[in-house]
Amino acid sequence: KAGVTQTPRYLIKTRGQQVTLSCSPISGHRSVSWYQQTPGQGLQFLFEYFSETQRNKGNFPGRFSGRQFSNSRSEMNVSTLELGDSALYLCASSLAGHQPQHFGDGTRLSIL
């Protein structure tokens, strides 16, 4: 069974640009969550989607947005990139409820 797939693995952008990250969940998983990991703040929850609806959102500015498609694939978008957005962005999928989340390898975003 294929795991969670995130693309691209690495991205380099400059301040002010925007970026879109993609996540394909494990087959059958309808819940997709996104997390940001930085050395200073650790792992922080961005948002969670289930059946194309955002159910939970973390404490991030509106520049961070996401969506989920009917096949459960998800994208997150960051607009007007700032230096502080440099991080590892992790996507996780689950069957929801009490089931564990399974993570992808992440997209490492560097802002110059």
Partner 1 sequence: AQKVTQAQTEISVVEKEDVTLDCVYETRDTTYYLFWYKQPPSGELVFLIRRNSFDEQNEISGRYSWNFQKSTSSFNFTITASQVVDSAVYFCALKQGGSEKLVFGKGTKLTVNP
Which parts of this chain interact with partner 1 (CB under 8 A)?
A: 31, 33, 35, 42-45, 48, 50, 55-56, 58, 88, 90, 92, 94, 96, 98, 100-106, 108
By C-beta, is 18 or 46 nearer to partner 1? 46
By C-beta, is 11 or 88 nearer to partner 1? 88
By C-beta, is 3 or 61 nearer to partner 1? 3
Least distance between partner 1 and beta carbon 42 (Å): 5
Burial class for 68, CB neighbours closer than 10 Å (0-12, 13-18, 19+): buried
> Strands 87-94 and 107-111, how do they pair?
antiparallel
- The number of CA neighbours under 13 Å toward the Cβ of 34 is 31
